[in-house]
Chain A
């Protein structure tokens, strides 16, 4: 889909630059004349939203780093200093803090959109795997960022997560000591986490460039999952169509985020993190941020430590194998009636897993009289089994047995409800059919 640039340099400076570094025509080909399927719905705006979130996090983060002190004796106070003394420090910190929550909200919608419309299927496997890598980097970045305020949840979250590595046979303890730089999560740990938290967003930025590059090589998927057959009939130029739509969605998303930033800035966080870290006192209930809860529930549902760690890792890594686990030739769930049901069950299972992850492990789920039939751990185990069964059993078999519905002959056909495409309508359709 690359190389559709219609850009012709006009000014003498543009001609001079094009002959030396064709950056204008590259940007024009990528973001102006780039053909986008004309039937994209608003779920396709989350890629753009995520780019904005990444840049927002980098800018607010760089500013916060100017006022923050990465030392166990000063970190907690320096965050309060940002909140109280730094001009607009409260705003910048709340933007960064809630930005992280919104970043994950957007990425989960983005991932589920890809799963619903089969965006991981050939030829988009590499694009998808790069996305999984970004997701992993995001998780590492968010985890280390959460340690920096040096509250109780910062410390104990770090203790729990770094200790996961001790489950690795033979070298686990050594790895943990090297992660800590000491005998426990202490000042050296905070220092290196700060350094890495500053580094990793730029690594994400690098992989995002590869992600967008891969996207622009194979082209966007679309709600029908049908390939673009005729550039003129099936697509519209990125600018103005996608540009305006993405911008509108971004503004709506930022408005949504602003509600949290200005009215409920601590709603999504944990109150215990406003208590300074204490290595001798564990909070009664260590809970990760909401975006880690489904994975945390999987970790806790396995009674064996190494097994739990492996299951949690596998829950993320398995996404990278999705292109080969889903055996169906049809991409979009719009034409897969059975998959559509299983998809929504899977979404529900991950959300309920998140709820289980937030609860006490011993809490009863089903009670018969005074007998606890099922605890939160047992419930989590059932959901964990389903989570993996979705990938390892349901998706491979569904592709073999499912009776799919007929897919439209082309994107234009699906948009116009028939084969008779009219040029004037095609240009006006993306807004109305979105």
Chain B
């Protein structure tokens, strides 16, 4: 004990460091799969492939709800009056100020302002707002009282952001392809 202990580096020191290093790497590489298994699995991801929506079935003034990736998406066919009102409010103070024109998609170089496509989850805590209600003729969230207008902009209540626009593109004037959900932040 005494003679080897004084010579500085020993075989035990080497084993100690080598074991510790391999052990740490081993633990880290095992933690990774155990964390990753919590993420969406292959089946969930496959079921969440992009969808196409046929808009021709939606009447003017009608609002539909469809379920994609386990969550609702609202598609609303706005009337000329609703578009008018939403534009008129562009200058009003809002928690998440956006112009009405920024809330609509474009096809063939022309804004498709009659179509509003938004994720149907309240940006406060994720409840599903109720269509055609609230103080701004848009959506009203019954959970904590957030009011959205016909462009899905938050106007009143605790929600911090507008109803989120998913990633979507117009394939034709009456067909939309949704490729991804966006987060509110």
- Please tell me which one of the listed residues B70, B127, B184, B185 contacts residue A286 in the complex, with CB atoms under 8 A apart: B127
Assuming the contacts A182-B44, A182-B70, A280-B67, asked whether A305 and B124 have C-beta atoms less than 8 A apart, the reply is yes
Q: Is B137 an interface residue (CB 8 A)?
A: no
- Please tell me which one of the listed residues B71, B145, B158, B183 contacts residue A279 in the complex, with CB atoms under 8 A apart: B71
Q: Is B20 an interface residue (CB 8 A)?
A: no
- Please tell me which one of the listed residues B35, B128, B160 contacts residue A305 in the complex, with CB atoms under 8 A apart: B160
Q: Is A300 an interface residue (CB 8 A)?
A: yes
Encode A293-308 as 1/0 by CB contact (under 8 A) with B.
Answer: 0000000100111001
Assuming the contacts A159-B127, A178-B38, asked whether A361 and B145 have C-beta atoms less than 8 A apart, the reply is yes
Measured between alpha carbons, how far is A172 from B143 in the docked complex, in Å?
A: 21
Please indicate the chain B residues that have their CB under 8 angstroms from the CB of A304 in the complex: 160
Q: Is B23 an interface residue (CB 8 A)?
A: no
Per the CB 8 Å criterion, the residue count for chain B at the interface is 32
- Please tell me which one of the listed residues A159, A164, A183 contacts residue B44 in the complex, with CB atoms under 8 A apart: A183
**Contact between B183 and A159 (Cβ–Cβ < 8 Å)?**
no
Give the distance to chain B from A420, nearest Cβ to Cβ, in Å: 63
Encode B150-167 as 1/0 by CB contact (under 8 A) with A.
Answer: 000000001010000000
Measured between alpha carbons, how far is A281 from B127 in the docked complex, in Å?
A: 8
**Contact between B38 and A185 (Cβ–Cβ < 8 Å)?**
no
Measured between alpha carbons, how far is A377 from B125 in the docked complex, in Å?
A: 16
Give the distance to chain B from A95, nearest Cβ to Cβ, in Å: 31
Q: Is B69 an interface residue (CB 8 A)?
A: yes
Encode A146-181 as 1/0 by CB contact (under 8 A) with B.
Answer: 000000000010011011101000001100011111
- In chain A, what residue has the closest Cβ to B35? A178
- Please tell me which one of the listed residues B38, B69, B181 contacts residue A192 in the complex, with CB atoms under 8 A apart: B38
Measured between alpha carbons, how far is A163 from B184 in the docked complex, in Å?
A: 11
Q: Is A48 an interface residue (CB 8 A)?
A: no
**Contact between A172 and B185 (Cβ–Cβ < 8 Å)?**
yes
Give the distance to chain A from B184, nearest Cβ to Cβ, in Å: 8
Q: Is A367 an interface residue (CB 8 A)?
A: no
**Contact between B181 and A183 (Cβ–Cβ < 8 Å)?**
yes
Beyond A182-B70, A280-B128, A283-B142, 18 additional pairs, beta carbon < 8 A: A156-B143, A159-B125, A160-B143, A178-B39, A179-B38, A181-B41, A182-B40, A182-B44, A183-B181, A184-B69, A186-B44, A188-B41, A279-B72, A286-B142, A304-B160, A305-B124, A361-B144, A362-B145
Binding site for A on B (CB under 8 A): 35, 38-41, 44, 48, 65, 67, 69-72, 120, 124-130, 141-145, 158, 160, 181, 183-185
- A-B contacts, 20 listed (Cβ < 8 Å): A159-B125, A162-B126, A177-B40, A178-B35, A178-B39, A179-B38, A181-B39, A181-B41, A183-B40, A183-B44, A185-B70, A279-B67, A280-B72, A282-B129, A282-B143, A285-B142, A303-B158, A304-B160, A361-B145, A361-B158
